[in-house]
Amino acid sequence: MNILAIETSCDETAAAVVEDGRAVLSSVIYSQIEEHKLYGGVVPEIASRRHTEQIIPVTRAALDQVGLTLEEVDAVAVTYAPGLIGALLVGVSFAKGLCLGGGKPLIPVHHIRGHIAANYIAHPKLAPPFLCLVVSGGHSHIVEVLDYTRFCLIGKTRDDAAGEAFDKVARVLGLGYPGGVALDQIGSTGNPGAYPLPRPKVTGSPYDFSFSGLKTAVINLAHNASQKGESLHIPDLAASFGATVAEILTLRFFAAARELGYKTLACAGGVSANSRLRAALEAKAGAQGCTLYLPPLSLCGDNAAMIGAQAYYEYQAGHTADFGLNACASLPIGEDRYNIKQEVIL
């Protein structure tokens, strides 16, 4: 089954064709990052406007790459939640138009489920159940993947997501936006023990995260240094911050895995590209006799291939939407909200 997938939840306009949930036949991503960099973050209205401009050329390129027409794909999938509402609506409306014109089933996909499914593309042997650490710009979750379309949220961040903390710290250190990659790179040469940083815990919730105190500690270090006219060693501070985030995520994730009895583990989302996190997860998995699946760097960030992968399993489970499909800015990973019947006033 060939699925044409559309992703417009944030600042990437993406389309892909995926066969049977596992083989990526084509994948095209138009990134708006250069434009949003000017403002130090994603400007929602600009994101929606660029999606509107790019969605047709990007989709056409994804079909052309594999030599298929719309008539020849079996279904159209689209990210409908969570994300920037105006950005999601562009993809949802466009996908509906394709389905209406081409007489295709419409498959609604949750963005975070898509991130998890990036691992199905890279790892043919991976199948639920497994425990997944999802770390992106908007989410930090520990998720039980019970089967392909059933999820249980075990832990989450109480404040900033891991990616958000990386981006805010990077901005204060003058590394631009989005700063996660830059912070990772500059920290690779630094000493991770140079700056002792707090490791906040959430009392009574052993699998929840809190990154705002850690982020504020780094920001305070930077402000205090500048007030005193002192300079910070940026590679050492970046290394210390990166190592602290990696340690917090890894400890909580493996504690949950032990408690719930999971030996098959995965990681997903933009922050799963982080070198210190990948190394820490791999070391711990080796020590604990667990099998760990990490997405390749090319599938960590937002893309439509992962949406096409998850869509295959949603379709198998009978999860198709009618033309009343709407976008949701926030939606828990375990919930579906695509089959709300709209009252049409004629």
What is the contact surface with Zn ion in residues (CB under 5 A)?
A: 136, 302
| CB closer to ligand KG4, 179 vs 200 | 179
Separation between Cα atoms, residue 300 and residue 320, nearest integer Å: 26
Pick what 91 binds: ligand KG4, Zn ion, none; C-beta below 5 to 8 Å, kind-dependent.
none
Piece of the chain touching ligand KG4 by CB under 6 A; list 24-32, 136-144, 146-154, 190-198: 136-144
Kindly state the smallest distance separating residue 29's Cβ from ligand KG4, in Å. Answer: 10
Q: How many residues bind ligand KG4 (CB under 6 A)?
A: 18
Residue 10 beta carbon to ligand KG4: minimum distance, rounded to whole angstroms: 6
**CB of 104 vs Zn ion, minimal distance in Å:** 25
Nearer to ligand KG4, 155 or 163 (CB): 163
Q: Which residues contact 291 (CB under 8 A, 6 or more apart)?
A: 263, 264, 265, 285
Binding mask 259-298 for ligand KG4 (x = CB under 6 A): ----------xxx-xx------------------------
SS3 sequence of the chain? CEEEEEECCCCEEEEEEEECCCEEEEEEEEECHHHHHCCCCCCHHHHHHHHHHHHHHHHHHHHHHHCCCHHHCCEEEEEEECCCHHHHHHHHHHHHHHHHHHCCCEEEEEHHHHHHHHHHHHCCCCCCCEEEEEECCCCEEEEEEEECCEEEEEEEECCCCHHHHHHHHHHHCCCCCCCHHHHHHHHCCCCCCCCCCCCCCCCCCCCCECCHHHHHHHHHHHHHHHHCCCCCCHHHHHHHHHHHHHHHHHHHHHHHHHHHCCCEEEEECHHHHCHHHHHHHHHHHHHHCCEEECCCHHHCCCCCHHHHHHHHHHHHCCCCECCCCCCCCCCCCCCCCCCCCCCCCC
Distance, in Å, from the CA atom of 81 to the CA atom of 112, rounded to the nearest integer, reads 8
Q: How far is the CB of 333 from ligand KG4 (least distance, A)?
A: 13
- In the complex with Zn ion, the residue whose CB is nearer, 304 or 325, is 304
Nearer to ligand KG4, 104 or 180 (CB): 180
User: Which residues have CB under 8 Å from 130's CB, separation 6+?
Assistant: 145, 262, 264, 265, 266, 293
Residue 178 in contact with ligand KG4, rule: CB under 6 A:
yes
**CB closer to Zn ion, 13 vs 136:** 136
Site string for ligand KG4, 139-168 (x = CB under 6 A): ------------------------x--xx-
Shortest distance, CB of residue 180 to ligand KG4, whole angstroms?
A: 2
Shortest separation between residue 167's beta carbon and ligand KG4, angstroms: 5
The entry of Zn ion, ligand KG4, none that residue 181 binds, CB within 5 to 8 Å by partner kind: ligand KG4
Stretch that binds ligand KG4, among 20-28, 92-100, 178-186, 225-233 (CB under 6 A): 178-186
For ligand KG4, give the closer residue by CB, 66 or 306.
Answer: 306
- At its nearest, how many Å lie between Zn ion and the CB of residue 247? 23
Q: Please count the CA atoms within 13 angstroms of the CA of 151 that sit on its side-chain side.
A: 24
Question: What is the identity of the amino acid at 249?
Answer: L
Q: Name the one range near ligand KG4 by CB under 6 A: 52-60, 97-105, 180-188, 329-337.
A: 180-188
Least gap, CB of 277 to ligand KG4 (angstroms): 7
| Site of interaction with ligand KG4 (CB under 6 A) | 10, 136-138, 163, 166-167, 178, 180-181, 184, 269-271, 273-274, 301-302
